[in-house]
Amino acid sequence: MCAHAVRVAIGKIDGVQRVVVSLNEGYADITLAADNAITVQLVRDLVRNNGFTPREAHVRIRGTVTSRAGALTFEVLGGGESFRVVGNEDTLAELTASGGKTVTVVGVVPEPSEGDPVATLRVTDVGGVEGEPAAATHR
């Protein structure tokens, strides 16, 4: 297994603009088109299918935040992927105040636990520049 195989596999996905893979440092840096439908799970599956173990994904994604049963959920635009949102008190208050408007968040999606039906998005920053492509780094 090699970095080239992972880069080629990810690069074939419609919506991927650029892929840089470093096995020495243990990451794949993926730049996506703004209107992509790529999910974190799809990338993780490709990494796994090429003989590697995916870890957390550092992401910048656009979507909307909803509150369900007292918990915040982030719905990714165009990808059909959703995450349970965690973060510090100020970040969660800012997301709650977004009122369902489209927001860009920066955060980390840890590798999901066995049997956990909803992945977690640990939001570290809210904002971002509209029109910038989404990006993900898998470690």
pLDDT tens-digit readout, 5-18: 888 999 999 999 99
Residue closest to 68 by CA, chosen among 83, 49, 88, 51: 83
* Residue-wise DSSP of 32-75: E-TT----HHHHHHHHHHTT-----EEEEEEEEEEEETTEEEEE
What's the pTM value of the predicted model, to 2 decimals? 0.81
The pLDDT score that the predictor gives to residue 5 is 86
Residue closest to 35 by CA, chosen among 15, 64, 11: 15
pLDDT of 1 above 70: no
pLDDT of 138 above 60: no
Distance of alpha carbon 79 from alpha carbon 56, whole angstroms: 19
Question: Do 92 and 115 belong to one domain?
Answer: yes
Locate tokens 């510090």: which residue?
88
The pLDDT score that the predictor gives to residue 130 is 47
70, 84 in Cβ contact below 8 A?
A: no
Question: Do 70 and 88 belong to one domain?
Answer: yes
Question: Do 14 and 46 belong to one domain?
Answer: yes
Coil, strand, or helix at residue 49?
helix
Domain ranges, residue 115: 58-131
In this structure, what token pair is assigned to residue 117?
């039906």
Count of structural domains within the chain: 2
The verdict on residue 77 lying in a domain is yes
- In the chain, alpha helices (H): 3-11, 40-49, 89-97
pLDDT digits over 52-89, tens only? 888 899 998 899 999 878 889 999 987 679 999 999 99
